Chain A
Amino acid sequence: MVNRQTITESIRGFISPKTLAYPSQPSPPPEGFRGKPEFDSKKCVGCGACAQTCPMGAISLNDGLERSIRIWYGKCSFCGRCQDVCPELAIRLTSEYELAVFDKNKASTDIEIDFESCSSCGKKFFPAPQLERSFERMKPILEKRNISNEELRILDRVCPSCRERPEEFSKRKLFLLNFG
């Protein structure tokens, strides 16, 4: 009816139970735990790579006058793909896991990214921070060829449909020839 193994195990369990009296006793997750992703709106350039790669579709882009990036934690599976692909390291998965809310719309992070306006037609065509960031990245390469950053900026602040106009087209061809 009784065996020694279960008795010793039971007595050990009696002395120290293995369950926590949560939530009065907090339960911090271990290091390396993938919890709620945090989005740094200062670093975000609005490229939308996270939205494209999210397996659950938790990150959505809404383009209007501005680009609205919305991460809704209801769908997030905390896989960390967004953290893997973000080129600016703006996403970091924290250890937070107590995400219950009463209003499900509150379980979201929203980031607004301004669009760059075309210098000739005024249409909004590209996220401004991403354009700025790509100029910064091009700076060392341009310097090696003694081309000023300003030149590239003037050329690139034109929307794709305006770029196909004859005067723009020839300007670009010249630039590329100089680029070598």
Chain B
Amino acid sequence: MPVALPIGPYHPALKENTYFRLEVEGERIVNADLKIGYNHRGIEWLAARRTYHQDIFLCERVCGICSNAHSTCFCQTVEDLAHIEVPDRARYLRVIVAELERLHSHFLWFGVAMHVIGFDTAFMHMWKDRETIMRMIESITGKRVNHGFNTIGGTRRDFTPSILKSIEDGVNTIEKAADRIRNTVTRDSLVRKRALDIGYLSGEDAKRISVVGPTARASAINVDIRRDDPYAAYSELDWNVIVRDGGDALARVVVRLLEIYESIRVIRQALKSLPSGPISSDISQLEFPVSEACDRVEAPRGELFYFMKSNGTNIPERVKIRTPSYMNNAALTTMLIGNSTADAPLIIASIDPCYSCTDRVAIVSAKNGEITYATMEELSRKKTH
């Protein structure tokens, strides 16, 4: 007789609030359910009541970790809508900041993963290395998160030669930090033991649920929006898409680790071939046509999709945002079943969930059952035997 374990909305193992219901028989999870919507802020409603320029800042604040992805996608959708041409320099600048954000997001994720398995020292060291990236972003864009770097038609700030030099040096430092992460993850046997064969997601399941991002690429699905539907300057740069077919948490760890190296490669190329010119096009005489447009970018967690409908005024009629964590969360129920409860926190952390991104539309599912309580962090440490 399965016993239902509700976990959340407040628990220490995850950084944001959500609600999991695990049905447990002994130590095996036989069924899992997910309830989101605790971070719902009504952003899409607000976006239809503010001008396009104001909406850039609103949509940026959907998520703190992938804020540049949201702002880039929003600006690109508006540029598609109104047929605005983005200058070359601005496209390369957007690539550099987007890849810096991917670096900071992956470093953050590694720290959180280490924390979930209890290796707090590695967590602190990885976040210390992440500070190099954050300071670089702060001196480039003016803020550590919610950068406000993009505007409709290009970017708001340019890179001076000293900033370019500091990015080059910073990227070298980060490469050494990535080597340190690689050593920790591959040489520490405990990390390997905790992540191997945990949270398996097969290729067919991944396709059926339509997961995106590193979660999909770890299950042998070769999809990357930067290559499949190029935006900004990605079509002019050369890098690899990392695909692994392990399907378990270790594969996701490896995919994210190698993506760090690829991001460094992209930044170096973009710095070298940065064209000169204006950083944004003049849109002072712009008139918005009545039409619809959609666009997508590869956020650190996967494919981010924006749809916009305009009615000719400077206030959009409808803004629709579909974030990657929304799709990846649906895979959690499949991934959790069959594993033991002690591994549940690591599985949930391995899809890099961002509930701030996910919760703008509420999904409700509820069942009732017998209840005993446990926390995620606790389950991670207390494996029944």
Contact = CB atoms under 8 A, between A and B. Distances in A.
Direct A/B contact, Cβ within 8 angstroms: yes
B57 interface: yes
Interface stretch (B32-40, B85-93, B137-145, B207-215): B137-145
Contacts of B291: none
B57 A13 contact: no
A77 B54 CA distance: 12
B143 A34 contact: yes
A5 B187 CA distance: 9
Interface residues of B, number: 31
Given A55-B50, A55-B54, A5 B131 contact: no
B58 interface: yes
B313 interface: no
Contacts of A53: 51, 53-54
Contact of A81 (B53, B61, B141): B53
A31 B140 CA distance: 9
B148 A79 contact: yes
Interface stretch (B75-83, B120-128, B263-271): B120-128
A32 B188 CA distance: 40
B139 A31 contact: yes
B146 interface: yes
Interface in A1-60: 3, 5-6, 9-10, 13, 18, 29-34, 53-56
B165 interface: no
Contact of A5 (B51, B141, B143, B184): B184
Given A34-B143, A55-B58, A78-B143, A10 B188 contact: no
A77 B61 CA distance: 10
Which one of B51, B142, B187 has the greatest number of beta carbons of chain A within 10 Å? B142
A80 B138 contact: no
Interface string B107-140: 0000000000000011011001001000100111
Interface string B271-290: 00000000000000000000
A84 interface: yes
5 contacts: A5-B180, A13-B124, A53-B53, A55-B50, A84-B156
